Amino acid sequence: MSEGPYLTVALFCERVIEDKENVLTVMRIMDSIVMHLPAGTPDDFPSDENRIPVLFDGLVTLKTGKAPGEHIVRIDMISPSGKRSDGEKRTVTLPPDEHGGANLIHHHVVKVKQGGLFYFEVFVDERLLTRLPFRIDVKRQAATEPPLPREDGGRVLEVD
């Protein structure tokens, strides 16, 4: 077993908020998202040229264990087709206290041409710590379906 750093949290959510005292609030933890396309959306959306941006946050929390100091953290994405996107490398400095740690908040924008199961791999110093599945579904609304309700309970109205 490794002496650290240890992974204590790895999740996706709608948003991570960090207040002035460095306390985190995680809103709407999720492992999937559905992108609804309104009726009449062009057939070439989504496509290679016209991708849908999907926005969500991720949180990775590490504890020092017996490995204080600087470490390189990287999160790679693997698309449903198997294509790997190398993630941005971030340097984190873990304090000497074994219970000390660091939070890494990631703001993800995945531009999809089709839905499916994506994987995100979390590496620390080139060592794989975990692999997170995240499903993105793209659904077209049929022309005969009523408009989708808004999140606040109202209705979306289409006006010509």
Task: Specify the DSSP class assigned to residue 59.
Answer: E
- The b/e string for 82-115 (b: 16+ C-beta within 10 A; e otherwise) is eeeeebeeeebebeeebeebbebbbebebebbeb
Tell whether the model's pLDDT for residue 152 goes beyond 90.
no
Local confidence band at 160 (pLDDT 50, 70, 90 cut-offs): very low
For the stretch 31-86, pLDDT in tens is 999 999 988 888 888 888 999 999 999 999 999 999 999 999 999 999 999 999 98
Are the C-beta atoms of 57 and 14 separated by less than 8 Å?
yes
Residue 102 lies in a domain: yes
pLDDT, mean of residues 120-142: 95
How far apart are alpha carbons 122 and 24 in whole angstroms? Answer: 20
Assess contact for 59 and 102: CB atoms under 8 A: no
150 located within any domain: no
Neighbours of 71 (CB within 10 A): 19
Q: What's the total number of domains in the chain?
A: 1
| Residue 82's CATH number | 2.60.40.10
| 93 vs 156: which has the higher pLDDT | 93
Indicate whether 12 belongs to any domain: yes
Question: 145 in a domain, yes or no?
Answer: no
Report pLDDT for 159.
45
Q: In this predicted model, what pLDDT tens digit does every residue of 67-82 receive, in sequence order?
A: 999 999 999 999 999 9
Is 34 domain-assigned? yes
- Position 1 in a domain: no
pTM, 2 dp:
0.83
Residue 44 burial (CB count, 10 A): 9
158 located within any domain: no
User: Residue 76 domain-assigned?
Assistant: yes
**128 token code pair:** 């794989």
pLDDT of residue 45: 87
Q: Can you give the pLDDT at residue 44?
A: 86
| Number of other CB atoms surrounding residue 120 within 10 Å | 22
Range of the domain at 32: 6-138
